[in-house]
Structure 1
Amino acid sequence: MSPHSAVPVIGPRAHLSDFFQGMGLLGRALSLVFRSKRLFALSALCAVITAVALAGLIWLLWRHAPGVLESFWARPESWYGRAAWTTVLVLSSLVVWVVGANVVPPLLLAPLQDPLSETTEAVVGGDDGPPFTLASFVRGIVTGVAHTLARLFFLLVGLAVLLPLHLIPVVGSVLWTVLGSLWTMTWMAGEFLAAPMTRHLYPFAEVRRMLRERRALCLGLGAGVYVLLWVPILNTFFLPLAIVAGTLLFRGLRDAGLLPPPPSAGPGAVK
């Protein structure tokens, strides 16, 4: 696969099979990382930082999750009560782990996200974004912060809306885990598709439009990242692979004419 062929060819109409194309973006990203020395170096640096962050999250959950649950629900003495309590603990910890893994490492690696996305576009033969100016730099930071806050807001609101499911004994926690995971996958897709779109100064409304109009494709990307989080060793590379995959998805949507020319290109720009 040549670097340019890493960009997916996206059909003009949405299909359920797009889900598998979205998942396949992680494989394209992995191949591209190994074809570019700079992408590999940036990804390796991200992996080291991510490994430390994920290990810290595991330690925090192991140390404090039981105490937090006990503050809401005292540990039962009966065997069936303890079984239900442990089930809630495990299922809740799984979702908290995924959410934490998608909040803490990106915050720590924020300075490396744009270089990863820029390098990906350069490797596949795309534009690198607007030339540097102080005004565009400041505008990019403001846009990025606004996008991040908006995405975090939607993630937390979605999980909060599902939280009352815990009131249904045992089954409610299972439902919360499944629905919370689906919501988190969708959020992941928006998070990593928004990375290149933010750099090109697209409004957040365009990110939401892609999530809505190409739901299966975006959910496939989110599901791929979600699964990657559970693969030991490889999960330390989840963030750079997700950013590269999100950038490839962005380029595919651009090439398919599903996104307008980026605001960063200025008026009259040609796709």
Structure 2
Amino acid sequence: MTHPSPVPTFSPQAGPADFFRGLSLLGRAWGLIFRSPRLLGMSALCALVTLVALGVLFGVLWIYAPQLLGGMWALPTVWYGRIAWYLVLVLLFVILLVVGANIVVPVVLAPLQDPLSEITEELCGDFTSPPFRLGALLRGLVTSVAHTLARVLFLLLGLALLFPLNLVPVAGSILWTVLGTLWTMFWLAGEHLAAPMTRHLYPFAEVRRVMGQRWLLCLGFGTGVYFLLWIPILNTFFLPVAVVGGTLLYRGLRAVGNVPPPPSALGK
């Protein structure tokens, strides 16, 4: 049985529907993973590692998040103050868990991200994975880890710039959490769009340009990946789905001309 091309169909022009098109990439990625034995096998391996990493991260934050908040804002004695404190604690726990997941898991699974993306592109057509060479594999592993660490630092930089909002009691912590969540959602899209574009030698300036041009599309995709983290069991697959979805996002943008042909194909 043949299946239609997995490459998504986007409008060449940005519009309000972009958010929902970006969100729908998760369903398209899930479908492609379960249609491809190679993608499914690698995703299962990623899921196992992710499950362990998320469990450890959850335990660490369960113990230390109250101490972190307590260092910035002592637990009030009045009942309404305690309610507000625990509300901020829940919000802080949520964003730290998401940020932590997007630091620990991508670094641990960095060696598998490019192979996942390459298999996805093969299924999209007009792409063949390069032949295996040990030297190229080792260089790819080093490059993948280095680029992942660089993008994680970019995420942390944005959160650090927002952090002074916590100096404003109650409202500042809530505002930091809300803005930090939006920043994380947008960063998630950039993280997984940049991965296949980096593999094809696009400069990061091109990634920034595309994200600025189709920001609502990227935000929709990043929102879907963000909330995938909160679905039990399925959240162990969040990185494979994000990698496949980010590759589909790249191919869809390239198909409508928002992304030019890759420099790697032009011999640059």
**TM-score when scaled to structure 1?**
0.90
Answering whether residue 121 of structure 2 is matched by residue 121 of structure 1, we say yes
Any unmatched runs of 5+ in structure 2? Answer: none
Question: Are the counterparts in 2 of residues 4 and 125 from structure 1 also a CA contact under 8 Å?
Answer: no
Deviates more, 1:135-144 or 1:244-253: 135-144
2:139 and 2:62 map into 1 onto residues whose CA distance is 41
Question: Are the counterparts in 1 of residues 22 and 218 from structure 2 also a CA contact under 8 Å?
Answer: yes
Deviates more, 1:61-70 or 1:1-10: 1-10
Alignment of 1:69-80 (within 5 A): 69-80=69-80
Q: Return the letter of the residue paired with 2:191.
A: E
1:72 and 1:201 map into 2 onto residues whose CA distance is 43
Alignment of 1:16-165 (within 5 A): 16-131=16-131, 140=140, 144-145=144-145, 147-165=147-165
Secondary structure of the corresponding residue to residue 264 of structure 2: helix
Which portions of structure 1, spanning 4 or more consecutive aligned residues, are displaced by more than 4 angstroms? 1-4, 129-143
Secondary structure of the corresponding residue to residue 230 of structure 1: coil
1:201 and 1:132 map into 2 onto residues whose CA distance is 19
Answering whether residue 219 of structure 2 is matched by residue 229 of structure 1, we say no
Q: Return the letter of the residue paired with 2:81.
A: G
Residue-by-residue CA offset, 1:12-54 (whole Å, 9 max, x unaligned): 1111211100000000000101111111111111111111111
Q: Which residue matches 1:238?
A: 238
Change (3 A) 1:206 1:144: farther
Residue-by-residue CA offset, 1:158-183 (whole Å, 9 max, x unaligned): 21222222233322222222211111
2:146 and 2:262 map into 1 onto residues whose CA distance is 18
1:51 and 1:135 map into 2 onto residues whose CA distance is 31
Q: Which residue matches 1:251?
A: 251
Deviates more, 1:67-76 or 1:97-106: 67-76
Any unmatched runs of 5+ in structure 1? Answer: none
Q: Return the letter of the residue paired with 2:220.
A: G
2:219 and 2:3 map into 1 onto residues whose CA distance is 24
Secondary structure of the corresponding residue to residue 9 of structure 1: coil
Instruction: Please report how far the alpha carbon of residue 126 of structure 1 lies from its aligned counterpart in structure 2 after TM superposition.
Output: 3.3
1:80 and 1:264 map into 2 onto residues whose CA distance is 59
Question: Are the counterparts in 1 of residues 8 and 252 from structure 2 also a CA contact under 8 Å?
Answer: yes
1:94 and 1:82 map into 2 onto residues whose CA distance is 18
2:114 and 2:144 map into 1 onto residues whose CA distance is 10
RMSD value, Cα: 2.2
Q: Which residue matches 1:193?
A: 193
2:51 and 2:126 map into 1 onto residues whose CA distance is 31
Secondary structure of the corresponding residue to residue 201 of structure 1: coil
Instruction: Please report how far the alpha carbon of residue 189 of structure 1 lies from its aligned counterpart in structure 2 after TM superposition.
Output: 0.2
Deviates more, 1:41-50 or 1:122-131: 122-131
Q: Return the letter of the residue paired with 1:221.
A: F
Answering whether residue 146 of structure 2 is matched by residue 168 of structure 1, we say no
Answering whether residue 243 of structure 2 is matched by residue 216 of structure 1, we say no
Q: Which residue matches 1:179?
A: 179
Residue-by-residue CA offset, 1:56-101 (whole Å, 9 max, x unaligned): 1110111111122223333232223322322222111111011011
Question: Are the counterparts in 1 of residues 189 and 221 from structure 2 also a CA contact under 8 Å?
Answer: yes
Question: Are the counterparts in 2 of residues 140 and 201 from structure 1 also a CA contact under 8 Å?
Answer: no
Question: Are the counterparts in 2 of residues 130 and 265 from structure 1 also a CA contact under 8 Å?
Answer: no
Secondary structure of the corresponding residue to residue 5 of structure 2: helix
Number of residue pairs the alignment of both structures matches: 268
Instruction: Please report how far the alpha carbon of residue 108 of structure 1 lies from its aligned counterpart in structure 2 after TM superposition.
Output: 1.0
Q: Which residue matches 2:10?
A: 10
Question: Are the counterparts in 2 of residues 129 and 199 from structure 1 also a CA contact under 8 Å?
Answer: no
Question: Are the counterparts in 1 of residues 192 and 242 from structure 2 also a CA contact under 8 Å?
Answer: yes
Residue-by-residue CA offset, 1:188-244 (whole Å, 9 max, x unaligned): 001111111121121111111111111011111101101111111111111100100
Change (3 A) 1:214 1:139: farther
Change (3 A) 1:168 1:255: same
Q: Which residue matches 2:261?
A: 261
- % same residue: 62
1:244 and 1:42 map into 2 onto residues whose CA distance is 11
